[in-house]
């Protein structure tokens, strides 16, 4: 089955992260598949609301670490990989209709970045969130960092990025990282009910409001910030971070 699964049930579309054996960790192909799914949704006039969800009890455990030795083998492959991530996140963020991420289980790193690219985030009460690049010697990308800052503010964003700590959904709701906190058993039902309610309203108003808010918050990734991310991906800290992860020990950063 496709690792990015796209299902239509008008007026809804569902983008499913479908790699449950790896807690839906995002491969390079999945980042590109996310962009393809967004492009296909654009062609469907019957789709008004998009739900983004994981299969198998987790939203997404982050980028697929098993690929790191190959995708970060050299500067060119790292640049290509980071461009694939940005392409997927940008395509999702630029969809002209509302997108709702359904957080359950793990919503970590790159998985949180997918959720941050959506308009709203509904979370099961027992889900958890973290932004762990500092534990690997990487940098969170500029697009997802900007979206994180917009939601929680600069100081809280720094706390989450500096510490990589686990955030439970009660705190996530309090700081604005998620928009709804509901029992796990009713997560999909509540998200779908909300989506169907939106679908009955003026789509001209809703899409116009989305475009206006996006224009006001705005901001694209600068070349300077992209370069910082690429330098981190080629740096000694990241080599030590992924070696330590593979060896199941704490990294020893210089």
Distance of CA 158 to the CA centre of its chain: 18
Position 235 in a domain: no
Tens of pLDDT, residues 55-87 = 999 999 999 999 999 999 999 999 999 999 999
Domain count, the chain: 1
Name the residue range of residue 69's domain. 4-183
In a domain, 176, yes or no: yes
Candidates 166, 169, 189, 191; CA nearest to 181 is 169
- Beta carbons within 10 angstroms of residue 55's beta carbon: 16
Mean pLDDT in residue range 26-35 = 97
pLDDT for the residue numbered 134: 94
User: Which of 9-23, 104-118, 165-179, 229-243 is least confident?
Assistant: 229-243
Q: Is residue 208 part of a domain?
A: no
- Judge whether 54 lies within some domain: yes
Confidence of residue 33 (pLDDT cuts 50, 70, 90): very high
pLDDT digits (tens, 9 = 90+) for 125-140: 999 999 999 999 999 9
Please report whether residue 202 resides in a domain: no
247 belongs to a structural domain: no
CB 160 within 8 A of CB 152: yes
Which pTM does this prediction carry? 0.91
Q: Is residue 216 part of a domain?
A: no
Tell me, yes or no, whether 210 lies in a domain: no
Contact call for residues 26 and 4 (beta carbons, < 8 A)? no
With H, G, I as helix, E, B as strand and everything else as coil, classify residue 212: helix
Residues contacting residue 161 through CB under 8 Å, at least 6 positions apart: 131, 133, 134, 140, 145, 148
Q: What is the CATH number of the domain that holds 130?
A: 3.90.226.10
- At residue 224, does pLDDT exceed 80? no
**Confidence at residue 166, expressed as pLDDT on a 0 to 100 scale:** 98
């Amino acid at each position: 089955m496709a690792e990015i699964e796209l299902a239509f049930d008008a007026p809804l579309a569902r983008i499913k992260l479908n790699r449950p054996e790896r807690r839906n960790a995002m491969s390079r192909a999945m980042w590109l598949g996310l962009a393809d799914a967004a492009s296909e949704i654009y062609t469907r006039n019957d789709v008004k609301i998009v739900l983004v969800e994981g299969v198998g009890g987790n939203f997404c455990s982050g980028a697929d670490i098993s690929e790191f030795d190959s995708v970060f083998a050299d500067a060119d492959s790292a640049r290509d990989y980071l461009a694939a991530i940005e392409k997927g996140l940008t395509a999702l963020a630029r969809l002209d209709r509302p997108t709702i991420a359904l957080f359950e289980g793990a919503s970590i790193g790159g998985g949180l970045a997918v959720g941050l690219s959506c308009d709203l985030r509904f979370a099961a009460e027992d889900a958890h969130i973290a932004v762990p690049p500092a534990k690997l010697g990487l940098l969170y990308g500029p697009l997802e960092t900007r979206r994180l800052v917009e939601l929680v503010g600069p100081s809280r964003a720094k706390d989450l990025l500096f510490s990589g700590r686990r955030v439970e959904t009660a705190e996530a709701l309090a700081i604005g990282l998620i928009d709804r906190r509901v029992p796990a058993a009713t997560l999909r039902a509540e998200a779908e009910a909300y989506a169907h309610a939106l679908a009955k309203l003026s789509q001209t108003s809703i899409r116009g409001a989305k475009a206006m808010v996006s224009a006001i918050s705005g901001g694209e990734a600068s070349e300077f910030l992209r370069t910082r991310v690429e330098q981190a991906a080629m740096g000694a800290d990241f080599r030590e971070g992924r070696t330590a992860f593979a060896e199941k020990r704490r990294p020893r950063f210089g």
